[in-house]
Chains A and B, each alone.
Chain A
Amino acid sequence: MSVGTSLPHDSAALHVTGRARYVDDLPVPADTLHLAFGISTIAHGEITSMDLSAVRAAPGVVAVLTAEDLPFANDVSPSAHDEPMLSTGTVHFVGQPIFLVVAESHLQARKAARLGQISYKERPALLTVDQALAANSRFEDGPVIWSKGDAAAAIAKAPRVIEGTFDMGGQEHFYLEGQIALSVPNEGGVTVHCSSQHPTEIQHKVAEAIGTHMNAVRVEMRRMGGGFGGKESQGNALACSTAIVARMTGRAAKMRYDRDDDMVITGKRHDFRIHYRAGVTDEGRILGIEFLQLARCGWSMDLSLPVADRAMLHSDNAYNLENIRIESHRLKTNTQSATAYRGFGGPQGMIGIERAMDHIAHVLGRDPVAVRKANYYNDMGDGSQTTPYHMPVEDFILGALTERLEASADYQARKKAVADWNAKNDVLKKGIALTPVKFGISFTLTHYNQAGALVHVYQDGSIHLNHGGTEMGQGLNRKVAQVVAAGFGVDPGAVQITATDTGKVPNTSATAASSGADLNGMAAKAATDTIRERMAEFLAREHQAEPAAVRFEGGRVKIGGEDMAFEEAAKRCYQGRVSLSSTGFYATPKITWDRKAGRGRPFYYFAYGASVTEVVVDTLTGENRILRTDILHDAGNSLNPALDIGQVEGAYVQGAGWLTTEELVWDDKGRLKTHAPSTYKIPACSDRPRIFNVALWDGPNREETIYRSKAVGEPPFMHGISAFSALADACAACGPHWPDLQAPATAEAVLAAVKRARGTV
């Protein structure tokens, strides 16, 4: 059985030899053109004049396009058609594309793009959530408010009221492979090779940009060098630009952002400010809680509404909150358009309640884990416990999971050891924290919860697999191939994985929301089942047996007394004129969602996990290290434990990076000052936890997902919250006051929190 086995990533042998081809590695026609954007240098204003003569005269430049030169749609938005590919006269952020340079080489295009002489009439720029709130600059008419019970009344009656404000930064995706697209013109339209999590969206936007139907555009996507949400919508501009130029010139066109352009132009994780006010018992049980969430969305809508929704949807995390009110403001600012990023708002919403838990525990002088457990939902609830959006929580396992992690991580003894260390040491202070994760699985945009697949069995018994998901490193293709191999009872090596191709499987959803294996695995299984049933029926007829008696296992097909190789069975079916090709389709059951009302069942199920992190802080400098991390994560019946554990480890480090070293800084002119790895610090090998124990929970998904597995892309990202909580715990050990640590907890922020704890601010 290939499912549940730790097989390597399907491209591993190509990766380690440098033979795995990314878009920039594809051979291109000799006359391929290269593109670059000329971008805005101010945050907000009107373009009063544009002199592009130096750009046009620069070596190698073939053409320069502005908005007026675009033949069809000038829009790269995935949502509200509010994002012109090239500015139409107003600029909304530093980095907004204004003109497009077409040149003979990549370097010539980039150099020429710097030569534009553009004058602006500057207008005041809204850069912060405070400025945007004051100006009532927002998406949607007003805040979105969801509630359950009566939070205000419950807080008024509570013995203790605890409130605070928490600012958390955004996050640059820093996929190692930057945004890129290559368009090759053909007779009827164009073929686009790109690095995208959403080939169908690329197809859709390119069709609009070149004035054709979608059937004239074929998008092929073999692999990405990392995505993390940053390639859900942010590649549209490159694909559209190259397609437009390819159609105009009849030559292939390629565009690749260099790292600085990538960081300056593309959207990032939304930074949030969350205000919380909780009424609690003396034991820390929350009686009522209110959240105010301020999301800085940037200049265009992009995916900000569902991101902000998901933040609201995770404001309960693991806790049964009877009385809750959540108010969410989606603020429009003159900055990059914040976009999808692993967790999609979930991490921001979740850390709001986790922060409140730490604050409550600090004020009450109780163990933060005890306070958390006092508020947990009940394990495997009977349906009477509901989320703030009125969805029954029936698959909760964090009670048992937390207990097991506390034991395996030796939490209580280490908690005491940390306290002992802190009593004896003045300079180096330690902290430890355990935080849980409950993450909802399904797209909140209900119609995205569908997938297609295409499977062929050739007459030699080899199998060709195609599905709508995209490979960005997560091992999706391997997992889906394991599903197909299991269906035919063959070795996974017999299944040829092929590039995602809109010409093979249409109308795909983004590979996002952790849904890749859930959706595409089921679709591929449906296609496999169809072919296998056809084969079984034919072979049974030959043997005058029942189709159910035909068995596919171990690379053999067995019926009655006969035992033949799968290859032989395929050959016989072909000669018997049996169709050996099928599509497969899947739509997630059970989900209904009314986002305006904040009611329904937006998620098919929840994925769970918990983590313990121990840190040490140098209280003289704020520098800090992660000493040990223990994670127990629920991937259901894992399709591939090695790949899943890899996801958990990578997600944790990325989540910890978000909350510690990764700091985005804009100056007061709206210029992003951290636009390269020299100034924006993602975790390096030296930042990895000294001791890193990761294990998977061993229970199946109670819902009928693909082999009862659970989605694993995003949920473990939020284990990074335990690193932040541990740092806050270390800061709290420095003095009697609430340290009020803000995120990202850079050395500077840690130092400030140490001072607050000591009361020396």
Chain B
Amino acid sequence: MKKVHVTTNVNGDQVEFLADPRETLLDCLRNHLDLTGTKEGCGTGDCGACSVTLDGTLVCSCLVLGVEAEGKKIETIEGMASDGELHPLQRKFIEHAALQCGFCTPGILVAAKSLLDTNPDPSESEIRFWLAGNLCRCTGYDKIVRAVQDAAAEMRGAA
């Protein structure tokens, strides 16, 4: 199939790539842009490991076609730290030991940031249900929820 030229913005940078129209955004990020922080866990939109935001909306990049990224703004895990400074969520995940194998971690961080962007003071239940689409097989989630709560508190204090 004829490849399509896609121009899009990833983590603030204008990028372009040639995509097979059947390719997922996940594969385009990983294979054409070498942004391998976004992971494939299931390929069916159930595990959240491939979470990115598309024009500010949290999506599973395995369910989005690469060509749909044309003219959009994408944010991935690689863009979360700025100028070498970790985002508070990233720091709190390290502090709270909220990760083990780390494979789900990028998706969970992207999803958590998307929550805090719209709701800076989420309740414990809101965090749990917001992150219900991001599976983690290692941690049992407790430290993840605590890390998100702690990061939210710090960010509110800093604002």
Decide whether A and B are members of one complex: yes
**Sample of 19 further A-B pairs with CB below 8 A, known A646-B140, A653-B139, A653-B140:** A8-B97, A12-B93, A12-B94, A17-B78, A17-B81, A175-B101, A176-B41, A176-B47, A176-B101, A225-B101, A225-B103, A259-B41, A643-B97, A649-B143, A650-B100, A676-B44, A685-B134, A685-B136, A685-B144
Select which of B76, B77, B102, B143 is within 8 A of A225 by beta carbon. Answer: B102
Contact A19 B136 (CB under 8 A): no
Task: Give the shortest distance, in Å, between A472 (CB) and chain B (any CB).
Answer: 6
Contact A646 B100 (CB under 8 A): yes
A208 within 8 A of B: no
Task: Give the shortest distance, in Å, between A499 (CB) and chain B (any CB).
Answer: 15
| Complex CA–CA separation, A90 to B38 (angstroms) | 40
B19 within 8 A of A: no
Q: List the interface of chain A (C-beta within 8 A of B).
A: 6, 8-9, 11-22, 24-25, 27, 173-178, 223-228, 258-259, 472-475, 642-643, 645-646, 649-654, 676-678, 682-689, 692, 694
Select which of B41, B97, B129 is within 8 A of A9 by beta carbon. Answer: B97
- If A12-B99, A17-B81, A176-B41 touch, whether A686 touches B36 (CB-CB below 8 Å) is no
Chain B residue, CB-CB nearest to A686: B132
Contact B46 A18 (CB under 8 A): no
Contact A677 B101 (CB under 8 A): no
- If A24-B36, A176-B137, A646-B143 touch, whether A14 touches B102 (CB-CB below 8 Å) is yes
Q: Say whether chain B's binding surface is mostly helix, strand, loop, or mixed.
A: loop
| Complex CA–CA separation, A313 to B44 (angstroms) | 40
Report B126-145 residues with CB < 8 Å from chain A CB.
127-129, 131-145
Stretch with Cβ within 8 A of A (4 or more), from B2-10, B66-74, B104-112: B104-112
Which chain A positions have C-beta within 8 A of B105? 15-16
Contact A682 B135 (CB under 8 A): yes
Which chain A positions have C-beta within 8 A of B122? none
| Complex CA–CA separation, A13 to B81 (angstroms) | 11
The number of residue pairs between A and B whose CB atoms lie closer than 8 Å in the complex comes to: 178
By size class, the interface of chain B is 35 or more
Which chain B positions have C-beta within 8 A of A472? 101
- The listed residue with most B CB atoms (<10 A of its CB), out of A21, A227, A653, is A653
B16-46 vs A, Cβ < 8 Å mask (1 yes, 0 no):
0000000000000010001111111111101
Report B43-91 residues with CB < 8 Å from chain A CB.
43-44, 46-47, 49, 76-78, 80-81, 86, 89-90
Contact B101 A473 (CB under 8 A): yes
- If A18-B106, A25-B36 touch, whether A650 touches B47 (CB-CB below 8 Å) is no
- If A17-B80, A685-B145 touch, whether A226 touches B47 (CB-CB below 8 Å) is no
Task: Give the shortest distance, in Å, between B112 (CB) and chain A (any CB).
Answer: 10
11 A-B contacts (beta carbon < 8 Å): A12-B94, A15-B102, A18-B35, A18-B36, A18-B106, A472-B101, A650-B139, A676-B46, A678-B44, A684-B131, A684-B133
Contact B38 A18 (CB under 8 A): yes
Contact B81 A677 (CB under 8 A): no
Chain A residue, CB-CB nearest to B96: A642
Which chain A positions have C-beta within 8 A of B141? 653, 683-685, 687-688
| Complex CA–CA separation, A653 to B137 (angstroms) | 9
Task: Give the shortest distance, in Å, between A660 (CB) and chain B (any CB).
Answer: 14
- If A259-B44, A649-B142, A685-B144 touch, whether A20 touches B97 (CB-CB below 8 Å) is no
Contact A685 B100 (CB under 8 A): no
Which chain B positions have C-beta within 8 A of A227? 101
Which chain B positions have C-beta within 8 A of A178? 41
Which chain B positions have C-beta within 8 A of A27? 34
Chain A residue, CB-CB nearest to B91: A16
Which chain A positions have C-beta within 8 A of B131? 684-686
Chain A residue, CB-CB nearest to B47: A677
Chain A residue, CB-CB nearest to B139: A650
Select which of A654, A677, A685, A689 is within 8 A of B46 by beta carbon. Answer: A677
Contact A176 B103 (CB under 8 A): yes
Select which of A12, A21, A694 is within 8 A of B36 by beta carbon. Answer: A21
Select which of B35, B49, B144 is within 8 A of A176 by beta carbon. Answer: B49
Chain A residue, CB-CB nearest to B80: A17
Task: Give the shortest distance, in Å, between B145 (CB) and chain A (any CB).
Answer: 7
Which chain A positions have C-beta within 8 A of B41? 176-178, 259, 677
Task: Give the shortest distance, in Å, between A181 (CB) and chain B (any CB).
Answer: 16
Contact B94 A16 (CB under 8 A): yes
Chain B residue, CB-CB nearest to A657: B137
Select which of A16, A25, A177, A677 is within 8 A of B109 by beta carbon. Answer: A16
- If A259-B43, A474-B100, A677-B42 touch, whether A17 touches B90 (CB-CB below 8 Å) is yes
Task: Give the shortest distance, in Å, between B17 (CB) and chain A (any CB).
Answer: 16
Chain A residue, CB-CB nearest to B130: A685
| Complex CA–CA separation, A205 to B15 (angstroms) | 43
| Complex CA–CA separation, A559 to B145 (angstroms) | 49
Report B116-159 residues with CB < 8 Å from chain A CB.
127-129, 131-145
Task: Give the shortest distance, in Å, between A530 (CB) and chain B (any CB).
Answer: 32
- If A259-B44, A649-B143, A686-B129 touch, whether A175 touches B94 (CB-CB below 8 Å) is no
Which chain B positions have C-beta within 8 A of A692? 140, 142
Chain A residue, CB-CB nearest to B86: A16
Which chain A positions have C-beta within 8 A of B136? 176, 685
| Complex CA–CA separation, A224 to B81 (angstroms) | 24
Which chain A positions have C-beta within 8 A of B134? 684-685
Contact B138 A8 (CB under 8 A): no
Select which of A12, A18, A228, A676 is within 8 A of B77 by beta carbon. Answer: A18
- If A12-B93, A688-B140, A688-B141 touch, whether A475 touches B129 (CB-CB below 8 Å) is no
Which chain B positions have C-beta within 8 A of A223? 101-102
- The listed residue with most B CB atoms (<10 A of its CB), out of A17, A27, A173, is A17
Contact A18 B78 (CB under 8 A): yes
